[in-house]
Structure 1
Amino acid sequence: MGLQKHSTILADTVEQLSDEASYKQLFHAYRDEEALPSGEVLKEIVDLCRSILFPGYYGNARISKQTIRFQTGVNIEMLHERLSGQIYAGLCFADSSCTACPEEKISEQAKRLSEAFIKTLPEIREILATDAEATFNGDPAAQNVGEVIFCYPGFRAIVGYRIAHRLYSLGVPFIPRMITEMAHSETGIDIHPGATIGHSFSIDHGTGTVIGETSVIGNSVRIFQGVSLAGEKLPPDENGQTIRGVARHPILEDDVTVYSNSTLIGRIRVGKGATICGNVWIAQDVPAGMVITQNNALR
């Protein structure tokens, strides 16, 4: 009797979970030969990017000046193949209204996007070099730039962001957010791939740091753990729907420093060279060069 009751409970649960009304917005119908982007493969892609950008620190530890051209060529070929496949999956997933997917067309688009990303790797390396140097210069505890590249979670999160932002700028769907969320899980630092960040950027410690989608950060900006560049909550549109695609996060001009656990909210502007001390809530513009503390504002 107990076994029969147990079977009935299971059968009833299956019926409830199979009711279309219960899964309507939570269900993805696969098309022939289509797969969702893979977190496991994207991790391999990020690792390949790291090994290309920082030879010797990641990937083949035996790489030398004599073998770097060969090893880089091998890694680039692998990156192109795997990234093309993941972009293809992302494009198919994003086009939910497509019922007769022109596979060859989308496959070619994915390959072109992959090539466009790979073409920018020298530029990404160049800007990451400024980020590594800024992190080293800002932290007396760092022994050398190599320690920053290999050990620092703030720099690791910035690398993930730089890769994801370039894919985001190319219009690649889903994958950029997946990459920054992987870095978020790994480091506790949440940077939206849509944020715009200049060169020589550093995040000290970093746990709990949040940088929202429409944030704009200038050059030589330094932020600490627990800092939140948050978006203001906008009123709904005339149909009661959430308004999207509106600039709603802060702008930090060049040479700004924001210390730990401070929250900057809304489309405010923090002027060049300003300093935001720890544990403050800022919801209005800050003039250039000003120092903001809990108790006062000093020029």
Structure 2
Amino acid sequence: MTTHTAFAERSYPATPPSPVHAAVADLRNARDAWRNRQDEARDVASFPSRSALEQVVGLLSATLYPRRLGHFRGSPLEEDQFVVARLLAALTELEREIGAELGYWQQEAGPFDPDHAATMVRLFTATLGDIRRLVDSDVEAAFLGDPAARSVDEILVCYPGAIASLHHRIAHELHNLGAPIVARVISEIANEHTGIDIHPGATIGESFFIDHGTGVVIGETAIVGARVRLYQHVTLGARSPVGLTRDDVRERHARHPIIGDDVVIYAGTTILGRVTIGARATIGGNVWLLSDVPADSVVVQPEAIRLDDAAGLDLRDVLQRAAAQ
């Protein structure tokens, strides 16, 4: 009689893990290592949703500009009804996202009042008229400052500076009300679309115009006066990252420039630290500034040495001649 080995008792070579299984295990190890390094583990399930906040900004834009950004085509009598519908939808979602942020911070701040998010949204709603007036002033400044513009409507819909300004005006109010993550997400949505990076904490006066705009950076504690014009690749930044220097309290918490009223800053200029640019000053292109500039000044970089003038000079001579100009 032939003896047959049971199927369950047969031995087979071990199946090597698939690339997917190996990647999953490696990702689990990376997650565990990250969480073990954190002093405070927060519930990231409460983190505000970027996609939801994109919808909020779209609804708020339609509320602020029903016809140009909301595409409303009804009669003037129906316009308020359109605004009410969009505003209620925006505020409902915004309250949910602010509540998520409050939940994210509660480990440090302690349990929060469930009505706190509703109160913040109510206070934010009261600023919408001021936001609209500020954005209007920015659009008008762009129209006056750019001879290529054919209409204010073109600026509001198309110009990256106007788009970034609208996002910043919304984000700044939310930042001031105590929702810094929600505000930062809104500012980064604008950055993604325009290449303009304005921290929501920055204070910016009326009639603000960013011409062209790509590469503009404005830091958290910057203060920008009224009727200021910036061109592309302007940076209003800090001199050193916080924590890497022995700065005093003022320098740590007021670390970005103050730009006076009616200042013009041309392309490629970098201004670092808590320096003050006086009213009506003009800063030329590609200037590097670390010190104050008086009012009504004009600052330009030294004229470059022509190549034929530099013939026969070594690099040290060239640099010395440039410094003397």
TM-score (norm 1): 0.88
Deviation at 1:173, TM superposition (A): 3.1
* Structure 1, unpaired ranges of 5+: none
Q: Percent identity, please.
A: 37
Aligned to 1:4: 16
Aligned to 1:30: 43
- Are positions 1:66 and 2:73 aligned together? no
Of residues 252, 255, 259 in structure 2, which corresponds to 1:252? 259
**2:100 maps to amino acid:** A
TM-score (norm 2): 0.81
- Are positions 1:82 and 2:89 aligned together? no
Change (3 A) 1:175 1:5: closer
CA distance in 1, matches of 2:242, 2:27: 40
Change (3 A) 1:61 1:71: closer
Aligned to 1:17: 30
Q: Tell whether the 8 Å contact from 2:143 to 2:155 is kept in structure 1 after alignment.
A: yes
CA distance in 2, matches of 1:248, 1:281: 16
Q: Tell whether the 8 Å contact from 2:234 to 2:265 is kept in structure 1 after alignment.
A: yes
Q: Tell whether the 8 Å contact from 2:205 to 2:225 is kept in structure 1 after alignment.
A: yes
Deviation at 1:36, TM superposition (A): 2.1
In our comparison, the structure showing a higher alpha carbon Rg is 2
**1:4 maps to amino acid:** P
Q: Tell whether the 8 Å contact from 2:72 to 2:79 is kept in structure 1 after alignment.
A: no
Aligned to 2:226: 219
Deviation at 1:17, TM superposition (A): 2.8
* Moved beyond 3 Å, runs of 4+: 5-12, 18-24, 26-31, 234-240, 242-245
**1:85 maps to amino acid:** R
Equivalent residues, number = 289
**2:171 maps to amino acid:** A
Q: Tell whether the 8 Å contact from 1:17 to 1:23 is kept in structure 2 after alignment.
A: no
User: Could you list the per-position Cα deviations for residues 165-221 of structure 1 after superposition, in whole angstroms to 9, with x for gaps in the alignment?
Assistant: 001111123100110011001100000000010000000000000000010000000
Aligned to 2:107: 96
User: Could you list the per-position Cα deviations for residues 119-168 of structure 1 after superposition, in whole angstroms to 9, with x for gaps in the alignment?
Assistant: 11011111111111001100000001111111101110010000000011
User: Could you list the per-position Cα deviations for residues 253-272 of structure 1 after superposition, in whole angstroms to 9, with x for gaps in the alignment?
Assistant: 00000000100011100001
**1:16 maps to amino acid:** N
Secondary structure in 2 aligned to 1:42?
helix
Of residues 126, 139, 157 in structure 2, which corresponds to 1:132? 139
* Structure 2, unpaired ranges of 5+: 1-12, 304-325
CA distance in 2, matches of 1:139, 1:65: 31
- More deviation in 10-19 or 87-96? 10-19
Change (3 A) 1:70 1:6: closer
Aligned to 1:195: 202
Secondary structure in 2 aligned to 1:4?
coil
Change (3 A) 1:251 1:113: same
**2:301 maps to amino acid:** Q
- Are positions 1:232 and 2:239 aligned together? yes
- Are positions 1:163 and 2:176 aligned together? no
**1:25 maps to amino acid:** Q
CA distance in 1, matches of 2:39, 2:194: 29
Of residues 258, 265, 277 in structure 2, which corresponds to 1:270? 277
Secondary structure in 1 aligned to 2:261?
coil
CA distance in 1, matches of 2:291, 2:15: 65
- More deviation in 54-63 or 249-258? 54-63
Secondary structure in 1 aligned to 2:16?
helix
Q: Tell whether the 8 Å contact from 1:204 to 1:223 is kept in structure 2 after alignment.
A: yes
Aligned to 1:41: 52
Change (3 A) 1:172 1:236: closer
In the TM superposition, what are the counterparts of 1:260-299 in structure 2 within 5 Å?
A: 260-295=267-302
CA distance in 2, matches of 1:26, 1:168: 25
CA distance in 2, matches of 1:165, 1:10: 41
Deviation at 1:245, TM superposition (A): 5.4
CA RMSD of aligned residues (A): 2.8
